[in-house]
Amino acid sequence: MNVLVLNGPNLNLLGKREPDIYGHETLADIENALRHRAFNEGVEIDFFQTNHEGAMLDRIHDARARVDAIIINPAAWSHTSVALLDALKAFEGKVVEVHLSNIHTRESFRHHSYISSRADGVIAGLGSFGYLAALDFLTR
């Protein structure tokens, strides 16, 4: 199995950005934990973070027919991007949407995610463990 982990805008600032909401771990910490778990499971894993929506769309197009599953934290694009939804609809594999925070207990504009209608599963509010839970689900 081949898994691609995608992180959207501002997630490069994890650990520094609103740590009371998003925690003290950096994105590198999260990626290292995932790399370790993937290695133990014999899963190939790749990572991509961008603050540029077009770059994210291109990376998803590139994953078509090459990647079995995507774990994505679309960050703010969850709430705004039909283009990201459409790109994921053009991807044939499994998609798990992850949010560090519980978007449903926050501001109302975060309650709706365009991505959720395409996702096979949605995890919110489990902090960085959400990414590992997503990987566990995919490797079951």
Q: Which of 27, 38, 70, 75 binds ligand DQA (CB under 6 A)?
A: 75
Residues linked to residue 43 through DSSP beta bridges, in sequence order: none
- Maximum alpha-carbon separation in the chain: 40
Q: Which helix (H) or strand (E) holds 124?
A: strand 121-124
122 in contact with ligand DQA (CB under 6 A): no
CA 50 remoteness from chain centre: 12
Active site (annotated) includes residue 22: yes
30 in contact with ligand DQA (CB under 6 A): no
**Closest CB to ligand DQA among 63 and 97?**
97
Active site (annotated) includes residue 99: yes
The crossing angle, in degrees rounded to 10, of helices 27-41 and 129-139 is 20
**Closest CB to ligand DQA among 100 and 132?**
100
| Structure tokens that stand for 78 in this block | 């969850």
- Would you give the DSSP letter of residue 95? E
10 in contact with ligand DQA (CB under 6 A): yes
Would you give the end-to-end CA distance of the chain in angstroms? Answer: 11
In the complex, the smallest distance separating the C-beta of residue 52 from ligand DQA, rounded to whole angstroms, is: 15
101 in contact with ligand DQA (CB under 6 A): yes
| Active site positions, annotated | 22, 99
Positions in the binding site for ligand DQA (CB under 6 A): 10, 73, 75-76, 78, 99-101, 103, 110
